[in-house]
Amino acid sequence: MKVRADAPLEMLGPLGCGIQTGAGAVLNALKVGAGSSFAAFGGGTVGLSGVMAAVVAGATTIIAVDVVAERLELAMELGATHIINSHEEEPVVAIQRITGKGVDFSLESTGRADVVRAAVEALRPRGTCGIVGASKPGTTFELDMNDVMQNCKVLRGIVEGDSIPDIFIPQLVDLYLQGRFPMDKLMRFYPFEEINQAAKDSERGKTIKPIIRIGH
Ligand SMILES: NC(=O)c1ccc[n+]([C@@H]2O[C@H](COP(=O)([O-])OP(=O)(O)OC[C@H]3O[C@@H](n4cnc5c(N)ncnc54)[C@H](O)[C@@H]3O)[C@@H](O)[C@H]2O)c1
C-alpha cells in the first residue's frame, strides 16, 4: 500500500497489525464517540492504540486496565483519564466507582477468559465489548446470562480493527504527523545486534513495541 512521501517508514511496520487493530477496534468497529466512556482491558500495543484512538474520538472517560505499572503510566501519558492495576484493585468495582453505571465500550486485548467476563461486567446497560485478544484454540469463557440479557449488552469479535488498510493506515499516519496519535511513545528501536535484548524486553513487558533496525 502507498503512504505519503513524508511518512516515517521505519515506524510503520506495527501499523500493519497491533496498532491498526487497537485503533481500528475503537474507530471502525466499536465507533467510540465524543463524550463516551471506554475501557481498555490490556495495555499492550493493541490496548494502548485503543486508548490513543479513544482520545482522537473525543471519549471523555478513558480507562486503562493492566497488571504492569509502567504500561499504566504510559496509558496516562497517552491520554487515559483513569488507570486500574488489576493486581491491586478489582477492575469491575473500580470502573463502576469511576463511571457510576459502567462504560459505554470495552476492549479485551489480553486473551484471557476471566478478563472477557470482567470487560462485559464493566459495561453499562446497552454497552458493547469488543474481543481482540487471541487465546489458545478451544478456550471458552463464561458470562452471567442475565447480566447480558437484562442489560442488553453486546459482545463482538474484531479482527484487525475492521480496517481497510489502504484507507485506515494513511489516516493513522496523518494523525501521527499532526501530533494527535503519538504512536512513537510505544516504540523502541534496537540495532540488529541487540535482537536478544529486544526479545527479553518485550517478554518482560518493558518495551511495548520493539523494532529491529538492520544495517544501521
Ligand atoms: N484480533 C486481531 O486482529 C488481533 C490483532 C493483533 C493482535 N491480536 C492479539 O491481541 C492481543 C494483544 O496484543 P498486544 O500486542 O497488545 O499484546 P501484549 O502482550 O503487549 O498486551 C497484553 C496486555 O495484557 C496485560 N494483561 C495480562 N493479564 C492481564 C489481566 N489479568 N488484566 C489486565 N491486563 C492484563 C499485559 O500486561 C499486557 O500489557 C494478543 O493476544 C494478540 O495476539 C489480535
For the chain, which ranges sit under pLDDT 50?
A: none
Same domain, 192 and 93: no
Please tell me whether residues 151 and 195 are part of one structural domain: no
Residue 203 pLDDT: 87
Residue 199: give the domain boundaries: 185-216
**Helices first, then strands: H and E counts in the chain:** 8, 8
Total domains in the chain come to: 2
Is residue 55 a part of any domain in this protein? Answer: yes
Q: Does residue 147 form part of some domain?
A: yes
Residue 2 located in a structural domain: no
Residue 180 lies in a domain: no
Residue 3 belongs to a domain: no
- Please give the pLDDT value at position 215: 83
Same domain flag for 208 and 111: no
Same domain, 150 and 197: no
Per-residue pLDDT tens for 143-157?
A: 999 999 999 999 999
Question: Residue 189 has what pLDDT?
Answer: 96
Query: Which residue, by CA, sits nearest to atom 34 of ligand 1?
Result: 66
Domain assignment of residue 76, yes or no: yes
Q: Are residues 126 and 21 in the same domain?
A: yes
Decide: helix, strand or coil at residue 98.
Answer: helix
Same domain, 125 and 195: no
- Residue with CA closest to ligand 1 atom 36: 42
**In angstroms, what is the span from residue 5 Cα to ligand 1's centroid?**
32
> What residues are in contact with ligand 1 under a 6 Å CB criterion?
17-18, 21, 41-47, 65-68, 71, 86, 109-112, 115, 132-134, 158-160, 205
pLDDT single digits (tens) 105-162: 999 999 999 999 999 999 999 999 999 999 999 999 999 999 999 999 999 999 999 9
Q: What is the pLDDT of residue 42?
A: 98
Tell me which residue of 56, 32, 70 sits closest to 188, measured CA to CA.
70
pLDDT the model gives residue 205: 82
Answer yes or no: do 98 and 202 share one domain: no
Per DSSP, the three-state class of 187 is strand
Asked if residue 195 and residue 152 are part of one domain, the reply reads no
Per-residue three-class SS string for 136-177? CCCCCCCCCHHHHHHCCCEEEECCHHHCCHHHHHHHHHHHHH
pTM, full prediction: 0.97
